[in-house]
Protein backbone atom coordinates (compact mmCIF):
# COMPACT_ATOMS: atom_id res chain seq x y z
CA UNK A 1 0.00 0.00 0.00
CA UNK A 2 1.37 3.41 -0.93
CA UNK A 3 1.49 6.32 1.47
CA UNK A 4 -1.16 8.21 -0.53
CA UNK A 5 -3.54 5.23 -0.40
CA UNK A 6 -2.87 4.92 3.31
CA UNK A 7 -3.65 8.59 3.93
CA UNK A 8 -7.00 8.25 2.17
CA UNK A 9 -7.93 5.32 4.42
CA UNK A 10 -6.71 7.13 7.52
CA UNK A 11 -8.79 10.20 6.70
CA UNK A 12 -11.80 7.86 6.50
CA UNK A 13 -10.80 6.48 9.96
CA UNK A 14 -10.58 2.97 8.51
CA UNK A 15 -9.35 0.66 11.30
CA UNK A 16 -7.21 -1.37 8.88
CA UNK A 17 -5.38 1.82 8.01
CA UNK A 18 -4.11 2.09 11.57
CA UNK A 19 -2.55 -1.37 11.31
CA UNK A 20 -0.90 -0.45 8.02
CA UNK A 21 0.29 2.84 9.46
CA UNK A 22 1.85 1.04 12.40
CA UNK A 23 3.48 -1.60 10.20
CA UNK A 24 4.96 1.02 7.87
CA UNK A 25 6.41 3.39 10.46
CA UNK A 26 6.75 1.73 13.88
CA UNK A 27 10.37 0.62 13.49
CA UNK A 28 11.69 3.93 12.23
CA UNK A 29 9.76 5.95 14.82
CA UNK A 30 10.87 3.63 17.61
CA UNK A 31 14.48 4.18 16.54
CA UNK A 32 14.08 7.94 16.82
CA UNK A 33 12.35 7.65 20.19
CA UNK A 34 15.02 5.25 21.51
CA UNK A 35 17.77 7.74 20.77
CA UNK A 36 16.11 10.17 23.18
CA UNK A 37 14.60 7.74 25.69
CA UNK A 38 17.04 5.02 26.67
CA UNK A 39 14.59 2.89 28.67
CA UNK A 40 12.98 0.38 26.27
CA UNK A 41 9.67 0.11 28.14
CA UNK A 42 9.37 3.90 28.36
CA UNK A 43 10.22 4.21 24.65
CA UNK A 44 7.50 1.67 23.79
CA UNK A 45 4.99 3.70 25.82
CA UNK A 46 6.00 6.83 23.95
CA UNK A 47 5.64 5.01 20.61
CA UNK A 48 2.10 4.03 21.51
CA UNK A 49 1.34 7.61 22.52
CA UNK A 50 2.78 8.85 19.22
CA UNK A 51 0.50 6.62 17.15
CA UNK A 52 -2.54 7.76 19.13
CA UNK A 53 -1.54 11.40 18.51
CA UNK A 54 -1.05 10.72 14.80
CA UNK A 55 -4.47 9.09 14.56
CA UNK A 56 -6.26 11.82 16.51
CA UNK A 57 -4.50 14.78 14.88
CA UNK A 58 -4.38 13.70 11.27
CA UNK A 59 -6.64 16.61 10.33
CA UNK A 60 -3.80 18.97 11.22
CA UNK A 61 -1.47 17.39 8.63
CA UNK A 62 -1.06 19.59 5.56
CA UNK A 63 0.54 18.03 2.46
CA UNK A 64 1.59 21.48 1.24
CA UNK A 65 3.74 22.08 4.33
CA UNK A 66 5.79 18.89 4.16
CA UNK A 67 5.94 15.15 3.79
CA UNK A 68 3.81 12.89 5.96
CA UNK A 69 6.86 11.05 7.29
CA UNK A 70 8.42 14.34 8.41
CA UNK A 71 5.19 15.26 10.17
CA UNK A 72 4.98 11.99 12.13
CA UNK A 73 8.71 12.11 12.86
CA UNK A 74 8.23 15.53 14.47
CA UNK A 75 5.36 14.15 16.55
CA UNK A 76 7.62 11.33 17.75
CA UNK A 77 10.48 13.67 18.57
CA UNK A 78 8.29 16.22 20.35
CA UNK A 79 6.46 13.54 22.33
CA UNK A 80 9.80 12.06 23.41
CA UNK A 81 11.09 15.45 24.50
CA UNK A 82 7.85 16.12 26.39
CA UNK A 83 8.27 12.80 28.20
CA UNK A 84 11.89 13.60 29.05
CA UNK A 85 10.87 16.93 30.48
CA UNK A 86 7.97 15.56 32.48
CA UNK A 87 8.43 15.70 36.23
CA UNK A 88 7.57 12.02 36.75
CA UNK A 89 10.11 10.86 34.17
CA UNK A 90 12.83 13.02 35.69
CA UNK A 91 12.07 11.77 39.17
CA UNK A 92 12.24 8.14 38.01
CA UNK A 93 15.60 8.74 36.33
CA UNK A 94 17.35 10.26 39.32
CA UNK A 95 20.08 7.96 40.39
CA UNK A 96 22.93 10.26 41.37
CA UNK A 97 22.88 13.28 43.58
CA UNK A 98 25.15 16.22 42.91
CA UNK A 99 27.39 14.99 45.72
CA UNK A 100 27.83 11.66 43.96
CA UNK A 101 28.62 13.45 40.70
CA UNK A 102 31.60 15.14 42.32
CA UNK A 103 32.61 12.01 44.25
CA UNK A 104 32.89 10.02 41.04
CA UNK A 105 35.83 12.16 40.00
CA UNK A 106 37.42 12.03 43.44
CA UNK A 107 37.21 8.25 43.82
CA UNK A 108 40.53 6.82 42.63
CA UNK A 109 38.99 3.38 42.04
CA UNK A 110 36.57 4.62 39.40
CA UNK A 111 37.21 4.47 35.68
CA UNK A 112 36.17 8.11 35.39
CA UNK A 113 39.30 9.07 37.31
CA UNK A 114 41.26 8.36 34.12
CA UNK A 115 39.81 11.51 32.56
CA UNK A 116 42.10 13.44 34.90
CA UNK A 117 44.72 13.05 32.18
CA UNK A 118 43.01 16.00 30.49
CA UNK A 119 42.68 17.92 33.78
CA UNK A 120 39.01 17.20 34.39
CA UNK A 121 39.36 16.68 38.15
CA UNK A 122 41.07 20.02 38.65
CA UNK A 123 38.52 21.67 36.38
CA UNK A 124 35.60 20.31 38.42
CA UNK A 125 37.22 21.36 41.69
CA UNK A 126 37.38 24.96 40.45
CA UNK A 127 33.62 25.25 39.98
CA UNK A 128 31.49 26.73 42.72
CA UNK A 129 29.27 24.19 44.50
CA UNK A 130 26.17 26.00 43.22
CA UNK A 131 27.51 25.68 39.65
CA UNK A 132 28.07 21.96 40.09
CA UNK A 133 24.46 21.56 41.27
CA UNK A 134 22.99 23.63 38.45
CA UNK A 135 25.09 22.01 35.72
CA UNK A 136 24.22 18.56 37.07
CA UNK A 137 20.48 19.29 37.02
CA UNK A 138 20.28 21.18 33.73
CA UNK A 139 22.78 19.32 31.58
CA UNK A 140 23.17 15.84 33.04
CA UNK A 141 19.70 15.17 34.42
CA UNK A 142 17.72 17.08 31.78
CA UNK A 143 15.82 19.41 34.11
CA UNK A 144 14.27 22.56 32.74
CA UNK A 145 15.32 25.77 34.45
CA UNK A 146 11.92 25.89 36.19
CA UNK A 147 12.33 22.35 37.50
CA UNK A 148 15.86 23.13 38.70
CA UNK A 149 14.54 26.20 40.53
CA UNK A 150 11.93 24.04 42.28
CA UNK A 151 14.47 21.34 43.12
CA UNK A 152 16.97 23.85 44.55
CA UNK A 153 14.19 25.92 46.11
CA UNK A 154 15.45 29.17 44.61
CA UNK A 155 13.77 31.66 42.24
CA UNK A 156 13.78 30.93 38.51
CA UNK A 157 15.66 34.16 37.79
CA UNK A 158 18.42 33.09 40.17
CA UNK A 159 18.79 29.76 38.36
CA UNK A 160 19.03 31.58 35.03
CA UNK A 161 21.65 33.98 36.39
CA UNK A 162 23.68 31.21 38.02
CA UNK A 163 23.48 29.13 34.84
CA UNK A 164 24.73 32.01 32.72
CA UNK A 165 27.54 32.77 35.20
CA UNK A 166 28.53 29.09 35.42
CA UNK A 167 28.71 28.80 31.64
CA UNK A 168 30.89 31.90 31.58
CA UNK A 169 33.13 30.33 34.25
CA UNK A 170 33.42 27.20 32.11
CA UNK A 171 34.37 29.30 29.09
CA UNK A 172 37.01 31.10 31.13
CA UNK A 173 38.46 27.84 32.45
CA UNK A 174 38.56 26.38 28.96
CA UNK A 175 39.69 29.68 27.44
CA UNK A 176 36.98 29.39 24.79
Q: Tens digit of pLDDT for each residue in 113-130?
A: 433 444 545 665 678 888
Lowest mean pLDDT among 18-27, 59-68, 78-87, 166-175: 166-175
Look at 97 and 48; give whichever has higher pLDDT: 48
Residue 47, pLDDT score: 94
134 near 162, Cβ under 8 Å? yes
**Predicted confidence (pLDDT) at residue 175 exceeds the cutoff of 80:** no
Q: Provide the mean pLDDT of the chain.
A: 77
User: With bands split at pLDDT 50, 70 and 90, how would you rate the model's confidence at 152?
Assistant: very high
Residue 11, pLDDT score: 78
CA 26 and chain centroid, separation? 20
CA distance 123 to 154: 26
Residue 156, pLDDT score: 92
66 near 49, Cβ under 8 Å? no
Is 0.75 surpassed by the pTM of this model?
no
**Predicted confidence (pLDDT) at residue 170 exceeds the cutoff of 90:** no
* Structural domains of the chain, with CATH: 3-91 (1.10.1740.10), 99-174 (1.10.10.10)
Contacts of 57 (CB under 8 A, 6+ apart): 75
Residue 109, pLDDT score: 45
User: With bands split at pLDDT 50, 70 and 90, how would you rate the model's confidence at 4?
Assistant: confident
Amino acid sequence: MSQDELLVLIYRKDEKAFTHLYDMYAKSLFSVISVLIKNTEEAEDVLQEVFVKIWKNLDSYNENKGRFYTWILNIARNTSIDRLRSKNFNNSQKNLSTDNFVNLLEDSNKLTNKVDGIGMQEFIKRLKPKCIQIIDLLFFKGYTQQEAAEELEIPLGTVKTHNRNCINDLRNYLKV
